[in-house]
């Protein structure tokens, strides 16, 4: 008898799971039918690439699609685009699916179900129904932005100081719009970046001409006669805005799961689904991607980190298990990277407050300035390094980097070291690659670790 897997949501997590389930089942000689339903007309695209499409770096939406519907179908997946899962009957092992084009619904039976419904952008009340106000989340959002830019707007306002806000502000500024970014935070990305790294991100945007306004809330919008945004009211003043980008984060899409009676996480994970390490919620019900929390290896608890890199990894883990193999997701360590104009930014590990308040750890930190390569090379660019370690024993707990080309991707070494529980002393003596075009003889992160190691002696 052939098992049937129903995949709800045909983006990164869902389709990683679908393909991996098929591959795994086939390798074991098991029959598996995979049906995937997707509300939009798109599959497996890079949401992270949309700010760069807006910026003009990417020719068009097709370039952002990792695997097309045709490719999924060629691999043997029965893919139904413009179909929405509207009801999940777990006892009956069936899902009610609406064909969004015809409006008809039907039930699809399954043996196993993969929930990959993703997340929805936060849209505040004041933004609803106003023209030229849009999030930057889906391919359709991207197309909307390309259309808006074709109308030659002159001023842009970006609301939100997280990754999408920063990347979108960069993109709009590079398209020549007079751009202002407004955030409630005391700095950009202030919940995950220590002040020095956050201010480096701000300087990166400011060097592009973006005005960055921190610690400020939007009171409301002024619209023109056509119900389109004209300006934003802030603290008694106003900023002109021919277009307004929403970068206020996302909330997990869990209505279907909640209505089916599945357990959800609490406010700490924004109510996301919390799968176990195999990505299972309950027997035969799997989930991954932006509708789920991911386990944080350092905090030892689930965390809502809606990133594509976790979606593809967790999706693959789910797929392996669905297909009859064995896999588990070992968890994340809080790694993130972006670019603000010419300034690269990256982080991994804990913030000081997380270490002290959630884990009860005493910590030491240091910050230093260095260059990305040997200082005498023409490509040498300034970079700043922030490192946090446990006061007792010197275990590396967090690293943040900012600077010119080549600064930020060094975070991977730190993420690996955090994962393995290395001390700052051990990190300082790792055999990292040195040649003048690539690094000083002591890697800058190693120098910072050395400073903390000396302090702990």
Binding residues vs its own copies (CB under 8 A):
12, 46, 48-49, 52, 57-59, 63-64, 163, 167, 297, 307-313, 325, 329-339, 344, 346, 348, 374-378, 405-406, 408-413, 415-417, 419-420, 422, 426, 429-439, 441-443, 457
Q: Which is nearer to its own copies, 52 or 239 (CB)?
A: 52
Cα-atom radius of gyration of the chain, to the nearest Å?
A: 23
Q: How far is the CB of 59 from its own copies (least distance, A)?
A: 8
Closer residue to its own copies in complex, CB, 132/347: 347
**Cβ 153 to its own copies, closest distance in Å?**
24
CA–CA dist 312, 381 (Å, integer): 33
What's the closest the beta carbon of residue 198 comes to its own copies, in angstroms?
17
Rounded least distance, CB 57 to its own copies, Å: 5
- Rounded to 5 degrees, φ, ψ at 34 are -120, 120
Write down the least CB distance from residue 199 to its own copies, Å: 20
Opening angle at CA 121, ends 120 and 126, nearest 5: 130
**Measured from the CB atom, is 183 or 338 closer to its own copies?**
338
* Nearer to its own copies (CB atom), residue 101 or residue 140: 140
Output 360 or 378, the one with its CB closest to its own copies: 378
- Nearer Cβ to its own copies, position 27 or 123? 27
In the complex, least distance from residue 279 CB atom to its own copies, rounded to whole angstroms: 12
Measured from the CB atom, the residue of 199 and 439 that comes closer to its own copies is 439
Q: Which of 364, 350, 370, 338 is nearest to 446 (CA)?
A: 370
- How many other CB atoms are found less than 10 A from the CB of residue 62? 10
Identity of the residue, 9 or 406, whose beta carbon is nearer to its own copies in the bound complex: 406
Q: Considering the complex, what minimum distance in angstroms separates the CB of residue 374 from its own copies?
A: 6
- Minimum separation from the CB atom of position 177 to its own copies (A): 20
User: In whole angstroms, how close is the CB of 305 to its own copies at the nearest point?
Assistant: 9
Decide whether 271 or 406 has the Cβ nearer to its own copies: 406
Closest to its own copies by CB, 47 or 244: 47
Residue closer to its own copies (CB basis): 60 or 237: 60
C-alpha distances in angstroms, 105 versus 4, 89, 117, 162? 19, 14, 18, 38
**Shortest approach of its own copies to residue 58 CB, angstroms?**
5
The least CB distance from residue 320 to its own copies, in Å, is 9
Among 388, 396, 387, which residue's Cα sits nearest to residue 425? Answer: 396
Contact in structure between 398 and 351 (CB atoms under 8 Å): yes
């Amino acid at each position: 008898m052939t098992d049937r897997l129903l995949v709800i949501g045909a983006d990164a997590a869902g389709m990683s799971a679908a393909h991996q389930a098929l591959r795994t089942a086939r390798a074991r000689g098991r029959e598996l039918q995979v049906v995937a339903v997707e509300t939009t007309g798109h599959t497996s695209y890079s949401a992270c690439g949309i700010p760069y499409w807006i910026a003009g770096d990417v020719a068009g939406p097709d370039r952002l699609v990792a695997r097309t519907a045709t490719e999924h179908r060629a691999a043997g997946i029965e893919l139904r685009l413009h179909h929405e899962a509207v009801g999940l009957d777990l006892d009956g092992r069936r899902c009610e699916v609406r064909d969004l084009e015809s409006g008809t619904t039907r039930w699809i039976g399954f043996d196993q179900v993969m929930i990959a419904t993703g997340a929805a952008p936060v849209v505040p009340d004041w933004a609803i129904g106003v023209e030229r106000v849009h999030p930057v989340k889906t391919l359709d959002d991207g197309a909307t932005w390309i259309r808006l830019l074709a109308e030659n707007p002159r001023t842009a306002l970006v609301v939100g100081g997280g990754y999408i806000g920063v990347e979108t502000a960069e993109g709009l500024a590079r398209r020549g719009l007079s751009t202002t970014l407004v955030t409630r935070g005391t700095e950009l990305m202030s919940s995950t970046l220590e002040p020095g790294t956050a201010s480096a991100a701000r300087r990166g945007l400011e060097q592009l001409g973006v005005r960055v306004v921190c610690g400020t809330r939007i009171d409301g919008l002024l619209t023109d006669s056509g119900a389109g945004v004209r300006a934003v009211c802030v603290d008694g003043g106003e900023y002109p805005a021919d277009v307004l980008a929403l970068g206020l984060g996302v909330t997990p899409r869990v209505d279907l799961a909640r209505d089916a009676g599945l357990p959800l996480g609490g406010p700490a994970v924004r109510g996301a689904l919390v799968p176990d390490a195999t990505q299972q919620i309950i027997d035969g019900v799997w989930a991954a991607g932006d509708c789920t929390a991911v386990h944080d290896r350092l905090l030892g608890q689930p965390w809502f980190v809606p990133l594509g890199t976790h979606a593809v990894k967790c999706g693959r883990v789910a797929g392996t298990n669905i297909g009859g193999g064995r896999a588990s997701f070992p968890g994340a360590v809080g790694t993130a990277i972006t670019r603000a104009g010419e300034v690269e930014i990256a982080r991994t590990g804990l913030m000081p407050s997380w270490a002290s308040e959630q884990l009860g750890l005493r910590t030491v930190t240091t910050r230093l300035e260095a260059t990305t390569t040997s200082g005498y090379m023409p490509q040498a660019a300034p970079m700043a390094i922030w490192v946090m370690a446990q006061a007792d024993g010197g275990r590396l707990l967090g690293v943040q980097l900012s600077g010119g080309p080549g600064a930020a991707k060094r975070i991977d070494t730190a993420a690996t070291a955090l994962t393995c529980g290395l001390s700052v002393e051990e990190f300082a003596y790792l055999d990292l690659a040195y040649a003048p075009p690539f690094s000083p003889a002591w890697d800058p992160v190693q120098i910072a670790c050395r400073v903390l190691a000396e302090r702990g002696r």
